[in-house]
Amino acid sequence: MKVILEAQQVCTPIPRGMPYYSFQLIRQLLRRKKNDYELTFFDFNRERNNRKWIDKYFGEYNALVNECNDVSYSDFLEEKDVFAEKSYNDYTKTHGDIYHFFNIFPIPNKLNAPMVVTVHDLIPIILPEHCSLQLNEKFLRAWKHLQKIQPMIIAVSEATKKDILNNSNIPAEKIHVTPLGYDEDICCSCSNNPDILSKLGINSPYVLCLGDINDERKNYIRIFEAFKIISKQFPEIKLVFAGKATSFMKALSQFSTQVIILDFVSDEQKHVLYSNAAVFLFPSLYEGFGLPVLEAMARGCPVIASNASSLPEVTGDAAILIDPHNVEQLAYEMERIITSESLQNELKQKGLEQCKKFSWDKTAEMTENVYKIAAAK
């Protein structure tokens, strides 16, 4: 079976978020060689030199790459009528049995083959106040189009599947849950090099938060408020935020020498931070999956996460789950972990066991099963 994988999101120096999913899944599918895979991407007049990223990430697998230089990918994003005369097949010069798009926008208006689309979350519908007006409008248009064409859907969690069913006319039999994995190679190979912590300005015990600090959905303000409650009792403990920080968050750090604000960190830095943290905090208001929780558990870090959306199914009983709106509960659980070595060890061991349920190879295998179902329809 010939499967066409739309690799546009991976055309970036550092794939994060949804592009990271595309990168890991495409790489694993190519490794497995269960189907005849081809990649597509767009680069109008080759002005962005996107091919270098495709070659960097996937060149070793010798997959056929179909590059379209006749139209810009931004034309798809801006919903220009590029399919008035040509189909996606015509633009990419491909003739696949299945086409897999790794996000709901943009997906083509004209495609001559069965389509599989990954839906990561429904944030613009569930929590529209946490998205820009432009994003909300774009998402809703794409969501309407998705319901019209009724492709086979991959949902990254049971929680996302439930959200899809509650907010669309897509039937349950078209929605297949394929959980994400974690990069076992990186998790196992990253050392606990103390020099990395020192270079990051961390020389004492700390609790860790990681992600885009601009995203209020991640609940960073309540994390800061909870930490203030326990900070006097534990003056040696630091609160470390690793992610793109706003000026507001940087201003918060000036009120306390116990708060450290980092920018985006490398994979090696990230996993060293996980490995040495007293606890990883992830009280997010909503997640389609929640990959950082899985990564933290894989590095043996105790986790406090919210009891919302997908996080309970990712953590199982391997993390302490809290009401993401309850600052006092978050502070109490932080204190409980910091002061209990037995609880730390219990969460560490449970986390390592929970991680065994997830891998990118398993994600790829489940995705290939969806391709078989889509091809048989």
Domains of the chain by residue range = 2-181+360-376, 184-355
pLDDT at 257 (0 to 100): 77
Reduce the DSSP state of residue 106 to 3 states and report it: coil
The answer, yes or no, to whether residue 189 has pLDDT greater than 90, is no
pLDDT at 74 (0 to 100): 83
Question: What are the structure tokens assigned to 120, written together?
Answer: 């990561």
Average pLDDT over the chain, rounded to an integer:
91
The answer, yes or no, to whether residue 79 has pLDDT greater than 80, is no
pLDDT at 221 (0 to 100): 87
The answer, yes or no, to whether residue 373 has pLDDT greater than 70, is yes
In this prediction, residue 255 has a pLDDT band, given cuts at 50, 70 and 90, of low
Transcribe 117-153 into DSSP letters.
EEE---HHHH-GGGS-HHHHHHHHHHHHHHHHH--EE
| Cβ contact 301:220 at 8 Å | no
The answer, yes or no, to whether residue 247 has pLDDT greater than 70, is no
In the predicted model, what is the mean pLDDT of residues 173-191?
Answer: 80
In the predicted model, what is the mean pLDDT of residues 167-191?
Answer: 84
Q: CA-CA distance, 138 to 143, in Å (whole number)?
A: 9
pLDDT at 343 (0 to 100): 97
pLDDT at 178 (0 to 100): 98
| Cβ contact 2:26 at 8 Å | no
The answer, yes or no, to whether residue 30 has pLDDT greater than 80, is yes
pLDDT at 16 (0 to 100): 86
Share of the chain above pLDDT 70, in %: 94
In this prediction, residue 188 has a pLDDT band, given cuts at 50, 70 and 90, of low
Q: 27 φ, ψ to 5°? A: -60, -45
Q: Is the pTM of this model over 0.85?
A: yes
For the chain, helix (H) and strand (E) counts, in that order, are 17, 13
Residue 248: HSE in the Cβ half-sphere, 13 Å Cα cutoff: 7
Pairing of strands 98-101, 115-119: parallel
pLDDT at 245 (0 to 100): 64
| β partners of residue 67 | 41
Reduce the DSSP state of residue 308 to 3 states and report it: coil
The reply to whether domains 2-181+360-376 and 184-355 share a CATH topology is yes
In the predicted model, what is the mean pLDDT of residues 37-45?
Answer: 95
The answer, yes or no, to whether residue 190 has pLDDT greater than 90, is no
| CATH fold of the domain at 184-355 | Rossmann fold (3.40.50)
pLDDT at 35 (0 to 100): 98
In the predicted model, what is the mean pLDDT of residues 331-349?
Answer: 97
In the predicted model, what is the mean pLDDT of residues 314-320?
Answer: 97
The answer, yes or no, to whether residue 136 has pLDDT greater than 60, is yes
| Cβ contact 113:149 at 8 Å | no
Tens digit of pLDDT for each residue in 202-222? Answer: 988 999 998 877 788 889 889
pLDDT at 82 (0 to 100): 83
Name the CATH superfamily, with its identifier, for domain 2-181+360-376: Glycogen Phosphorylase B; (3.40.50.2000)
pLDDT at 145 (0 to 100): 92
pLDDT at 185 (0 to 100): 67
pLDDT at 183 (0 to 100): 80
pLDDT at 264 (0 to 100): 82
pLDDT at 337 (0 to 100): 97
In the predicted model, what is the mean pLDDT of residues 20-25?
Answer: 96
